[in-house]
Structure formats: C-alpha cells, structure tokens
A and B are shown apart, each in its own frame.
Chain A
C-alpha cells in the first residue's frame, strides 16, 4: 500500500494536469455543441451532416463519428477522439518515467532496498497509474455531465461511467505496454522506442480505415479496441469484449514487465546488445562545436530539436492538405458563421490557414519554449547550472546564451515548417503570398521568446510551478483566441490572450503594434530575469 501511495505521489502532477485537461476538453466541447449545433432537431441534423463531411477527411486521425446531432455523439467524437491520444501520451511519459527516469535518479534502487519484491514494485506502479487514470477519466465524464447540464440537458450517468472505464482501461493498457518495452531496451532509448511502438499501433489502426490491406492487422492495436465502444452517443454501444481485451493487454503487459524486471539488472536492458569492445578513451572531444556559444546549445539539444522541427512541419503540411476539404463543410454550418466572420476576410483558404494553422503553430511554439524553460529549471535543480557557473561566465551570459539557443531553435522550426506550408500549399493550389508566409513564420520566433522570457523569470522564483503555470497560460490563451468568438467572450477577455499579439500576418501583414509589444515583453522579461538571476542563490 505504501508503494502505491508513493507511486501516486510521484505521479500527482500528471494526475492533476491530465484530469484538468480531460475535464476542460469534455466540458468545453459540450458547451460548444450547444453554441454551434443549433437548437432545433433540423438545425442539429444539418450541423451533423456538415460535420460528418469534415470527419470523413480526418479518418486518418479519428474514428468515424456516431450521432453528431446529439451532445453525446459530438463529445464522443470531438473530445474522446483526442483524449485517447492524450491518455496514450500520458501513459508513455508516466511509464517510461517510472521504469527508467526513477531508475536513473536512484528511486527504484531505494524502493527495492526496502525489501519490496520487483514484481510488487511493478504492480504498485501499475496500480498507482490505474488510480490516476480512472480519476482523470472520471473527471472527463463529470465534464460531460456538467457541460450537458449547462446546455439544459441531463446526461445519463451509466454511459458516462462506461466511457470513463473504457478510457482508463485504455490508458492502463498503453502504460503496461510501455512499461514492458522499457524493460527490454537500453535506458536512453526507452521513451523513443516505446513512443515509436505506440505511434505505430495508432497508425496501424487509423490507416486501416483507409487501406484495406492493414485491416487484417489492426487487432494488434489497443487503439482498435478503444474505438469499438462509443457509449456516449444515444445509439452507441459499450463493447464488453473489446474492453476485456484492453484489460487483458494491461494485465499481460504488466505481468511480462514484472517478469522482465525480475530478470534484468538495474540500469540495463533485458536484451543488451553489446557493441564491439573498444579500448578506453582518455582524450577530450576535439569538436569545435562545443567551443562556439549558442551552437553548442543547439548541438546539445539536436535530437529534441529535430523531433520538434519534424513534428511541427508534418502538422503544418497536414493542415494545408486538409484545408481545402474541410473549409467548405465548416462554412456551411450556420452556428459557425460568427466564428468564421471573425477571421475570414478576402480569400478563404489563406484566411483559414492564417487563423487555424498559425493559431495552432503558436500553441506548438509556446510548447517548445516551455520545454526549454523546463530544461533550464532542471539544470538549476540538478546542479548543472552550478557547474556551468563555476566557469568564468557571468550569469547574464548564461541567460543570454539560453535565450539565443531558444531563439535559434525556434527560428529553425519556423523556417522549416514555413517551407512545408509553402510547398504543400503550392501542391494544393492555395495561393499564399510568399513574403507574408515568411513574415508569419518568422513572427513565431518573438512569440516563443515571450514565453521563454516569462518562463525565465518564473523559473527563478517558482522553478517547480513554472511549467504548469506557463502551460496553463498558453492553453488558456489558445482557447480564448480560438473559441472566444464562439462563446461570445467579451473583447477585453479575448485581448488577454498572448496569441492576440501575433495578429494575422499571413492575410493582414505584420501587426506592428503587436510585434512591438511582443518584443517589449520579451526584452523586459529577460531583463527582469537577468536582475533576478544576478541576485538569487544557485544550488542552495
């Protein structure tokens, strides 16, 4: 029991964060449904028809919807379609952290030293995640019930509980699979390999909707079993057998992970591939890269930066590909007319890309900045900053180098993703102004710097809370900008969004005032954090 409590304590921020995200996702989509779907049955059927056309273009990501004319069907598709992916990511982060991160930090060693058997340690971790996963899934169901209540409808409890059970079991099956994979491969590869396997299983299922040849293999994917149940829609179902298969995957993965953990050395993989023997090396690296400020920081982060760049660029291309097919169905939904009127001026497709893609790109870029800020905070708490500052470099230099590394990283992402948008829009015959596309892409850099500057300041004072506060601010800013017009939020509330400063550079050119304010916030934030950094204690 103590081990389970410890597992819960180690994962408490994940539980709080994902429970909050789950609740917001379902609640907002419920409320949004009543805003855009209309109030009569005819209006809702027309809405469902238009939305089904959009959904047919997104089958590569999400399963086909059921009864989009009802709040249950709509939330099942809009919220739970994404929550499945969110729970898989949570399971990946949590299980690889439990299996390998805690092992690196010596926590696993300490736990085993108390006399707890290895199988018990694995079971405690799985039980801890099961509790967290059920709690988060339950908060999503509460979001549905309260959201429906806000729209004047009462939502039945049983389907909501079935959906919570299904989502939690799905998360647990992913957790056990990742836990098993983490035992098999080298520690530094655990997250990457497990992430690749989960992505592969996801794509196997989603692509099988398009490519028949894959249909015979989709039974391998837990994503398949999660979409066989759609209990929230009035005509939906709860597939007991599919849910039992998910439970079976969770149990089998957990048992095999425990077996593998019992038979491997701490810090090693069960399957250790030994490289060729080599003589010891006593020479320092002669690479010039390590001597060049900023470049060494980029080189140090090369793997992460490559993944961010590839990920954002693929998303950019995907948005462009989908633009032509989903814009017209969206425009035909009367409830969204106010929403589109807020940003479509002149050419439809460039306007859509400007608002939807570059809005999402801002969210991704703020995520990139927050990830870098998290690394700065970690450097401070694990003592790396102390060792860096034992060199003849000033604290201001360290801060400026961090900012420059972040700016250069953001620039690389912005340029590559901008090129991806440019090339794909050419293939899709969407006419974009090249200069404005370049400006829109490059403006993402100062936008990222705003989050970095605020993050640098916060991490000097509240290092443990920085990522949560910044993440919440970024997410709230995104929601305020994207959904403010739908919910008729007052203009002053929408103006609070950091995303407002970015403007619509792809269609309306650079908002000089917004750019100046963005730069001023970035400069002021970094200047203030330089002052705080100068005065604060390091490593105490």
Chain B
C-alpha cells in the first residue's frame, strides 16, 4: 500500500495511437495521483475512449507507454486489471442473461466480489437484477455497468462517460458513490464531454482535443474557464438595470434589445444577482456552452492544440 501511495495511479509517457488521417491519440503525458478523482474532458472523437482502451491494455499504442500503479498496462495487463474496475462507454449485449447472471459470470472470472456491495449498489440505483439484460433500458444497462465496475472494491476506477443514459437523480447518486469511493481510498479516472459534470466530482480535469491533451487544470482554474450564456427578460415597462449588469464582475458581451439582455457570465453568479436586486426579471435562461465554445472563447480559433498545450 505504501509503495502504491508512492507511485502514480496512472502515468503515461508520450502515449500515442495513430489511426491515420489525424485521428487517434498523440503524445499523451499524464499523471494521476492516488486517491484523486480525475476528469478527462473532451468533445466526441477527441481521443478519450482511445486513451482509456490503451490504459486497459485493449489496444496497442503506436508509441509511448502507460503505467497503472507502476505496472505496464500492456505487459502486466492481468495484474493491472486486478486493481482496476472498468465501465465501458457502451455496454455490450448479454441477450437473455439476467442481470444477476451477468454479475455472477464476470464476477466469477474476476473473483473477490463482495455480494453485499453488489446488493448495496443495486439497491441504491434501484436496479432489478432479476430482469433479463435485453429487457433493460439504456439507463439500467449503464447501472449494471456501474455495479460491475465497483463490485470488487478496486484501487482504480476507469469510467468511460459513466453518466450517459442516467437520469438526474441517478446521476446525483453516482456522484455520491464516486465521492464515497474516493474517500475509501480509491482513485477515479472518468471521461466526459460535459464540463459541469466533471465539476461535481473531480479534483482535477484534463482537457483533450483532436487527440492531444491541451490542458490539465484544478477546479479553481476550471471555474475560471467556464462561463454561461444568459438571457434575461424584464417585465414590460419596468426598468432594465443595464449599467449595474455591465459593471457586475464576470459579466461580458452585454447586448440590450428592448426588455431583453443577453450576456456571458464567468465565475460565480453572485455579482450578477446583486446587480439584479430590485429588477423585475420575468424570465432567465442559462445555456452551458459546449467545450468547443469554451475553446474558441479562451483560445484563438486558429491556434493549434500543440500551441495551446504550450
């Protein structure tokens, strides 16, 4: 355990998987510390799943290396997977097997599964293990994947877009589970393409774009990076506090049109809410920008990922 604490939970060095035509993963240098929750953020096709498959030893890197708790992901893949719980981006088909049989089947291969833990996670997510896999909704399939990933109390969890298909209540339950698992001593590496999601649970975030890691940031920096597009509609005939809004910290790009104001908001909402004190707001719509919008806002559009990384 002491040795594990000393080495990185995940370390990659120049890890590359070239699929040609600019697709793949290129020269990934990444280090995730033990007991850290690391969010791996990127738009679709950025290389998140490719990275995860390299870590799981499922695909052979074109170049570079990856280590989990000091073990080579390719050479020592069996030993690596003893320490890892894995949730794939899409659950495969198990046809007419029941949920309980899928768990027994894959748990039988792994060994060391705690039935009490299985029961507790299944109950927590209201997942009926007596039903057949083909009868499960996509959300229930994802829940089964979560049980499979967590059921043996792994040291490291590698989760590929874990909340896809889960409803908001189950997403919250999942975030709680991740927090508890981290508190119990595990490291968690999860991928997502939604910035607000990783904010909920992660200590640090790595942002990947076009196969290259462009940014590794802690939560404070993420909070600085993120912004919202706001649309405020005021009651007809009421006063629009344009000046107060323009002077509020974090508010930019203010456009006034009749009784509607659109603007972007960085950081916390507190200064804006203070500026709106006494105003008659009848509608407020907040849009979370996509990752691409964040990139275009914070980095010049013509800048290459390599340049951004520098």
Q: Does B113 contact A (CB under 8 A)?
A: yes
Bits for A258-288, please: 1 = Cβ < 8 Å to B, else 0: 0000000000000000000010111111110
Q: Write the chain B residue with the least CB distance to A281.
A: B130
Q: Does B150 contact A (CB under 8 A)?
A: no
- Residue in A281, A287, A291, A292 with the greatest tally of chain B CB atoms within 10 Å: A281
Q: State how many angstroms separate the Cβ of B294 from the closest Cβ of chain A.
A: 28
Whether the pair A284, B134 counts as a contact (CB closer than 8 A) is no
Bits for B266-303, please: 1 = Cβ < 8 Å to A, else 0: 00000000000000000000000000000000000000
Bits for A369-389, please: 1 = Cβ < 8 Å to B, else 0: 000000000010011101111
- Given the contacts A290-B104, A383-B88, A392-B81, A280 and B56 also touching, CB distance less than 8 Å: no
Whether the pair A392, B82 counts as a contact (CB closer than 8 A) is yes
Binds A, one of B116-124, B190-198, B201-209, B215-223: B116-124
Q: Which A residues are in CB contact (< 8 Å) with B97?
A: 300
Q: State how many angstroms separate the Cβ of B116 from the closest Cβ of chain A.
A: 10
Give the CA-CA distance A198 to B47 in the complex, in Å: 49
Whether the pair B130, A280 counts as a contact (CB closer than 8 A) is yes
Bits for B122-156, please: 1 = Cβ < 8 Å to A, else 0: 11001111101010000000000000100000000
- Given the contacts A390-B81, A390-B88, A284 and B115 also touching, CB distance less than 8 Å: yes
Give the CA-CA distance A201 to B29 in the complex, in Å: 66
Interface members, chain A 384-408 (any B CB < 8 Å)? 384, 386-394
Bits for B93-104, please: 1 = Cβ < 8 Å to A, else 0: 111111011011
Whether the pair A283, B93 counts as a contact (CB closer than 8 A) is no
Whether the pair A387, B79 counts as a contact (CB closer than 8 A) is no
Bits for A175-216, please: 1 = Cβ < 8 Å to B, else 0: 000000000000110000000000000000000000000000
- Given the contacts A382-B93, A384-B93, A387-B88, A283 and B100 also touching, CB distance less than 8 Å: yes
Give the CA-CA distance A239 to B104 in the complex, in Å: 58
Contact of B58 among A282, A283, A392, A538 (CB under 8 A): A538
Contact of B56 among A285, A286, A390 (CB under 8 A): A390
Whether the pair B109, A393 counts as a contact (CB closer than 8 A) is yes
Whether the pair A391, B81 counts as a contact (CB closer than 8 A) is yes
Q: Does B60 contact A (CB under 8 A)?
A: yes
- Given the contacts A284-B107, A296-B105, A393-B109, A386 and B134 also touching, CB distance less than 8 Å: no
Whether the pair B129, A537 counts as a contact (CB closer than 8 A) is no
The number of chain A residues touching the other chain, given as a range, is 35 or more
Q: Write the chain A residue with the least CB distance to B93.
A: A382
Whether the pair A290, B92 counts as a contact (CB closer than 8 A) is no
Whether the pair A187, B134 counts as a contact (CB closer than 8 A) is yes
Q: Does B106 contact A (CB under 8 A)?
A: yes
Q: Write the chain B residue with the least CB distance to A401.
A: B109
Whether the pair A387, B148 counts as a contact (CB closer than 8 A) is yes
Q: Does A113 contact B (CB under 8 A)?
A: no
- Given the contacts A284-B100, A285-B100, A383-B90, A188 and B106 also touching, CB distance less than 8 Å: no
- Given the contacts A281-B128, A393-B109, A539-B53, A287 and B92 also touching, CB distance less than 8 Å: no
Q: Does B59 contact A (CB under 8 A)?
A: yes
Whether the pair B93, A280 counts as a contact (CB closer than 8 A) is no
Q: Does A540 contact B (CB under 8 A)?
A: yes
Q: Write the chain A residue with the least CB distance to B19.
A: A540
Q: Write the chain A residue with the least CB distance to B59.
A: A537
Give the CA-CA distance A56 to B88 in the complex, in Å: 59
- Given the contacts A278-B130, A393-B78, A285 and B103 also touching, CB distance less than 8 Å: yes
Whether the pair A283, B109 counts as a contact (CB closer than 8 A) is no
Whether the pair B132, A391 counts as a contact (CB closer than 8 A) is no
Q: Does B45 contact A (CB under 8 A)?
A: no
Whether the pair A290, B110 counts as a contact (CB closer than 8 A) is no
Whether the pair A104, B134 counts as a contact (CB closer than 8 A) is yes
Give the CA-CA distance A535 to B106 in the complex, in Å: 23
Give the CA-CA distance A386 to B122 in the complex, in Å: 23
Q: State how many angstroms separate the Cβ of A107 from the closest Cβ of chain B.
A: 14
Q: Which A residues are in CB contact (< 8 Å) with B94?
A: 384
Whether the pair B130, A290 counts as a contact (CB closer than 8 A) is no
Give the CA-CA distance A287 to B102 in the complex, in Å: 12
- Given the contacts A392-B110, A539-B53, A300 and B78 also touching, CB distance less than 8 Å: no
Give the CA-CA distance A384 to B88 in the complex, in Å: 10
Whether the pair A282, B122 counts as a contact (CB closer than 8 A) is yes
Q: Which A residues are in CB contact (< 8 Å) with B115?
A: 283-284, 286
Whether the pair A537, B60 counts as a contact (CB closer than 8 A) is yes
Q: Which A residues are in CB contact (< 8 Å) with B111?
A: 291
Whether the pair B109, A282 counts as a contact (CB closer than 8 A) is no
Give the CA-CA distance A394 to B57 in the complex, in Å: 10
Q: State how many angstroms separate the Cβ of B9 from the closest Cβ of chain A.
A: 17
A-to-B contact residues, CB < 8 Å: 104, 187-188, 278, 280-287, 290-292, 296, 300, 379, 382-384, 386-394, 535-540
Sampled A-B contacts (13; CB under 8 Å): A188-B96, A188-B132, A280-B130, A283-B115, A284-B115, A291-B108, A384-B93, A386-B58, A387-B92, A390-B86, A535-B60, A540-B50, A540-B53
Q: Which 3 A-B pairs have the closest CB atoms?
A: A383-B92, A281-B130, A290-B104
Given contacts A280-B129, A388-B106, A394-B77, 10 further A-B contacts (CB under 8 A): A284-B107, A285-B98, A290-B105, A292-B108, A383-B91, A386-B58, A386-B88, A387-B148, A536-B60, A537-B60
